[in-house]
Amino acid sequence: MDQFDKLLAKWQPTALSLFRFMTGLLLFQYGVAKILKFPTIPEGNAYAFLNKVQLMSLSGAAGLIELIFGALLLLGLFTRPVAFILAGEMAFAYFIGHAPRSFFPLINGGTLAILFCFACLYLSTAGGGPYSVDAMRKK
C-alpha cells in the first residue's frame, strides 16, 4: 500500500490544478447561462429557469460572480481570495435558495451548492496548484 500511496502522492499537485480548473469551469458555465443566456436550455429541463435570470436580480448578481470569478478560477488567478468569495456565494445560495424548501439537500436541490461551497473552501486553503497563473507569477 505504501508504493500505491507514493505513486498517487506524486500526482497530487497536478490533480489540485485539474480540480481547480474543473471547479472553475463548472461555475463559469452557470455564469454564462445566467448572464449570456448560452446555451438556451429547453423548457422542461431542471435548469430551464436559467434562461429567465434578470441581470438586476439576486440570481443575476450570482451569475456575474460565477462568470467573472469562475473565469479567474479557471485561470488560477487570485485563486485563494476568489475561491473564498465563491465558497461564500455558494453557502449564501444554499441558505437563501435551497434550505427554505426542505432540510434535506436531496429534496431541496441544494446538493451542488453544498459541493461547490466546500470545493471552493478547499481551494481557498490549498491554492491553485502548479499549473496556474498564480504559480507563474511567483516565479
Q: Angle formed by the axes of helices 12-31 and 79-93, to 10°?
A: 50
Distance CA 139, CA 129 (A): 13
Confidence of residue 119 (pLDDT cuts 50, 70, 90): very high
Tell me, yes or no, whether 10 lies in a domain: no
- Higher pLDDT among residues 45 and 1, named by residue: 45
Tell me, yes or no, whether 1 lies in a domain: no
Q: What is the pLDDT of residue 47?
A: 87
Does the pLDDT at position 1 exceed 90? no
Q: What is the pLDDT of residue 46?
A: 85
Q: How many domains in the chain?
A: 1
Tell me, yes or no, whether 5 lies in a domain: no
Closest CA to 13 of 139, 133, 128: 128
- Start-to-end CA distance of the chain, whole Å, equals 35
Tell me, yes or no, whether 73 lies in a domain: yes
Range of the domain at 39: 21-134
Mean pLDDT of 16-20: 98
Tell me, yes or no, whether 59 lies in a domain: yes
- For the stretch 24-59, pLDDT in tens is 999 999 999 999 999 999 999 988 989 999 999 999
